[in-house]
Amino acid sequence: MKSMAIVVRDDSYDKILTPLAFAYLTASEGTQVDMLFVNWAVKALTAEGAAALRIDGRHAAEEAMVRAGVAKAGLPPEVYDIIKALKGTGCVNFYACSLAGAIFGVNEGNLIPEAEGIVGAAWFLNEKAAKADHYQYF
Amino acid sequence: MSETQVTSTLDTTGKCCPMPMVETNKAIKALAIGDVLEIIATDVGTRKDIPSWCERTGQSLLSMTEEGGVLRYHVRKNR
């Protein structure tokens, strides 16, 4: 697999781990990974938003256990640190959806430097998702 | 019976997906062709991950053993 595109919508701490882990796995083999963050997940591309990610709903009380498990697994427990590790592979690009940015308050002023920028979904879907060997949606 | 001459050992004990594979990819890049990487793991997911990774990336899985919950792989770098 030479390329993979991922759209991330869910922003709770536990649910965002899977797309990040999949991206880390494939990028470590040299696969080019392009990730578009939409809806609430766009806030994960800000330092404050990434730090504020929590486990929602019925599993909320188990957050400490999950974070400890993430650290034990060898991943950085903070989402921003995982993003930095992914960026360090040289194979992952992070994009913020422009609509999501407008709605949820992410702009070029608060976007983390690891992100490539704010892009339209049409561009991502046509230029990245449609051309990728594999496409995932979380 | 001759034993495999290990060039480098990667111990991923306690770590889980994706880290054993992320670290294996890093470790293999640092080796020369013909070198043998020993990977120690406790993540049972590596039972399938490492053989398929070897096949996909053109490396040779020389051996795979499991004892007391510890998996040990010997991989020769071919490319």
The Cα–Cα gap between B58 and B79 comes to 7
**Alpha-helical runs (H) found in chain A:** 13-28, 47-52, 63-73, 79-88, 98-104, 121-123
Place of tokens 């770098």: B77
Subunit contact B25:A21, Cβ cutoff 8 A: no
Q: Which residue of A has its CA nearest to B24?
A: A28
Q: Which residue of A has its CA nearest to B20?
A: A74
Q: Cβ(A102)–Cβ(A120) under 8 Å?
A: no
Give the length of chain B: 79
Q: Cβ(B43)–Cβ(B17) under 8 Å?
A: yes
Identify the pLDDT of residue B2: 58
Question: Taking Cα atoms as reference points, which of B21, B37, B40 lies closest to residue B74?
Answer: B37
ipTM: 0.84
What structural domains does chain B harbor? 8-76 (3.30.110.40)
Query: pLDDT for A107-137, tens place per residue?
Result: 999 999 999 999 999 999 999 999 999 999 9
Model pTM score: 0.92
Question: End-to-end alpha-carbon separation of chain B, Å?
Answer: 27
The Cα–Cα gap between B39 and B9 comes to 6
Instruction: Supply the residues of B annotated as catalytic.
Output: 17
Which residue ranges in chain A fall short of pLDDT 70? none
Question: End-to-end alpha-carbon separation of chain A, Å?
Answer: 19
B3: confidence class by pLDDT, cuts 50, 70, 90: confident
What structural domains does chain A harbor? 3-137 (3.40.1260.10)
Subunit contact B22:A72, Cβ cutoff 8 A: no
